[in-house]
Amino acid sequence: MGVSSGGGAPGRTTMSEINVTPMVDVMLVLLIIFMVTAPLIQQGVKVNLPDAKAQPVEATDKKLVLTVDASQRVYIGEAEVKLEELEEKLKTNAKAQADKELYLHADRTLPYGVIVEVMAAAQRAGVNNVGMITDPAGSPKVSKPKKKDP
Amino acid sequence: MRAAMLVVLLPFAALAQAPVLEISGANFRPLPLAYAAPATQDDGAKAHARELDEALQFDFSACGLFQLLDRKSFLADAKEGVTASSINFTNWTNVGAEVLVKVQLASDGDQLKGDLRLFSVNAGREELKVSESAPSKDTRRLAHKLANAVYKYFTKETGPFETHLAWTKKTAQGKDVYLSDWDGRNPVPVSVGGINTLPSIGPAGQVGFTSFKKGKPDLWLWRGGNAETLVSSGRMATGIAFSPDGKRIAYSLADGESAQIYVANADASAPRQLTNTPFFINTSPAWSPDGKRLAFVSNRGGTPQVYLMSADGGDAKRLTFQGNYNQTPDWSPRGDLIAFTARDERNAFDLFTVNVDSGKITRLTQDQGNNEEPSFSPNGRLLVFTSTRNGPSQLFVMTFDGNNQTALPVEKGTYSTPAWGK
């Protein structure tokens, strides 16, 4: 990035590249997000999934599923973990570290901030691929009414 | 490469599918093993749980078969039961475990009893249950017995956890020789005071070593607490090695200008000189597992190299042709490999193996200080050696192909010349 164009006199050089540093800072770098369709993954914790029209990825093998329910409780698989412990739990988790991937199974009513917090914890733990589990898109537009979790 | 080493792990023989894991070779993958903290049933057991736990964790992590999973990642309730029906296996799948080990500890007078259960996480089934007991003061031995049962379940071989090491520790004035468990713990002094070095363990548990107690190096024999001189001649005697059947010893005798290899009966009677190269050094004899051959170091070709010869004498054949400083050979109990120390092109000492038949050399250590003095475990799967990677020379173990290099949990100090009892 520090390569300047040409060897002109000081003060006369122009910066000919785009400085990407601020952009890198802003984004959750390298966090790859994709959509996973829900029916393939059976979970014990009940959440209302968002619908999405994005092209879904077929969940082939069993990845770790991170669930956040409507009351913002976080689960790895079926076991509840505290949000502040999530990073360490994922950092030491041999499966997550081998796959570098997990599926996020979060309730549609959750605030954006909570999801970002969970995804940031995953990213700090080195799990850079996060699959967002959604209800299959492309199903009839008139979706049946969903019952809300208490 | 060699059929004997490619023994296949038989995970869960009850499963219909073919065995999938190899214990060595390119396809080897350590088995992810979750070992939960032991459950105790009474206060007497509680007092020893930590010691047992430490020993078991080290056994599982250092033996090279397993990837011991970090307890911090565990999702299961700490109070989860020890029977298959009370275990939520999903929580163990979700930490990447394929094998789950649970231990229950109970005390009975001055005895400790350990029940170990091993589960296949994917099948959600108990595959092995063993009960062992030991006196409370031998808590580590109980751990080693339990670990051996697990090792045997997967490899059909006796594990290394109840074997012994002999090694040398530096003191202010000299060096002391100790005999210890496989993990370097429970050291028993064999010879302290003065300079004692180059220990070797015989098949009956006796320890031979070289000592300068009488001014010049002599060979000594330690048996059940008593040490006495075995070979004390006009010349300098060093580097005793017991034949695998314990009936003979090999060593080297040096005078001012050369050192020659001798073989004698176990009581040092009827010594025979095997090498005869005046002005050259012949030293560090190591027996082949069948007791028919010796590997040794000679500088007859100009630089120290590993040679082989019949244990009855006769012509020696040079085995190593790479490097210009190869020493301290040790012959694998499987027969096919000899591990040795070599000084490489950057003047660092590193460990290598050479195939006895093909002469093929394999590097085991690199860029981690000096690594010296390898000695094979009785099953040939592990090597103990010294390394200066963390400062002073320390004891390490690794697999015979250089994987899973692990420091032994011993007191601080400077260690040298480890030898594994075979």
Q: What is the DSSP string of A9-59?
A: -TT-----S---HHHHHHS-TT-EEEEEEGGG---SS---PPB--SPPBP-
Residue A50 has pLDDT above 90, yes or no: no
Cross-chain CB nearest to B95 (options A78, A88, A94): A94
Measure in Å the smallest separation between the Cα of A112 and chain B Cα atoms.
Answer: 26
Best residue of A91, A93, A105, A127 to probe chain B, by most B CBs closer than 10 Å: A93
pLDDT per residue over A7-24, tens digit each? Answer: 444 556 666 777 666 555
Give the confidence band of A39 by pLDDT, cuts at 50, 70, 90.
low
| Interval A28-49 mean pLDDT | 61
Please check whether residues B106 and B39 belong to one and the same domain: yes
Q: pLDDT value at position B1? A: 37
pLDDT at position A41 is 55
| Same-domain check for residues B188 and B62 | no
- If asked whether residues B356 and B406 sit together in one domain, one would say yes
**DSSP, residue by residue, B14-61:** TSSSPP-EESSSTT--PEEEEEPPPEESSHHHHHHHHHHHHHHHHHHH
Which of B155, B186, B216 is the endpoint of a domain?
A: B155
CATH 3.20.20.140 fits A27-134, yes or no: no
Single out the residue of B200, B188, B181, B265 nearest to residue B224, CA to CA: B188
Q: In terms of domains, do B292 and B353 share one?
A: yes
Q: Which residues contact B365 (CB under 8 A, 6 or more apart)?
A: B350, B351, B371, B385, B387, B398, B402, B405
Per-position DSSP letters for B212-276, written without gaps between them? -TTSS-EEEEEETTEEEEEE--SSEEEEEEE-TTSSEEEEEEE-SS-EEEEEEETTS-S-EE---
Q: How far apart are CA A103 and CA A38, in angstroms?
A: 10
Nearest residue of B to residue A98 by CA position? B96
Task: Answer whether B73 sits within 8 Å of A94, measured CB to CB.
Answer: yes
Q: Is the confidence at residue A142, as pLDDT, over 80?
A: no
Asked if residue B173 and residue B148 are part of one domain, the reply reads no
pLDDT surpasses 80 at A35: no
Pick B72's closest partner by Cβ from A88, A96, A97: A88
Check if B122 contacts A (Cβ < 8 Å).
no
CB distance A79–B91 less than 8 Å? Answer: yes
A64 and B94 within 8 Å at the Cβ level: the answer is yes
Give the domain extent around B281.
164-420
pLDDT at A145 exceeding the cut of 90: no
CA distance B259 to A118: 69
Q: What is the pLDDT of residue B390?
A: 94
Domain spans of chain A?
A: 27-134
Q: Do B300 and B332 fall within a single domain?
A: yes
CA dihedral B131, B179, B286, B223 (to 10 degrees): -100
List of chain A residues whose C-beta atoms are within 8 Å of the C-beta of residue B90? 77-78
pLDDT in tens, A54-73: 666 666 667 899 999 999 99
User: Is pLDDT of A47 > 90?
Assistant: no
**B64 and B178 housed in the same domain:** no
Based on the fold, state whether residues B197 and B309 are members of the same structural domain. yes
Beta-carbon separation of B96 and A94 below 8 A: yes
Task: Characterize the bridge pairing of strands A74-76 and A79-81.
Answer: antiparallel
pLDDT at A63: 87
Instruction: For A86, name the nearest residue in chain B, comparing CA atoms only.
Output: B73
Residues from chain A contacting residue B122 (CB–CB below 8 Å)? none
Mean pLDDT (whole number) for A103-129: 90
Structural domain count of chain B: 2
Q: Which residues of A touch B70 (CB under 8 A)?
A: 92, 94
- Do residues B370 and B330 both lie within one domain? yes
Nearest-by-Cβ selection for B73 from A62, A78, A93: A93
Q: Do B109 and B183 share a domain, yes or no? A: no
Query: Hey, are the CB atoms on A95 and B94 less than 8 Å from each other?
Result: yes
User: What band does A5 get if pLDDT is binned at 50, 70 and 90?
Assistant: very low
pLDDT of residue B18: 35
Contact B94 A79 (CB under 8 A): yes
**Regions in chain B scoring below 50 on pLDDT:** 1-21
- Tell me which residue in A78, A88, A95 faces B96 most closely, judged by beta carbons: A95
The 10s digit of each residue's pLDDT in A72-101 is 999 999 999 999 999 999 999 999 999 998
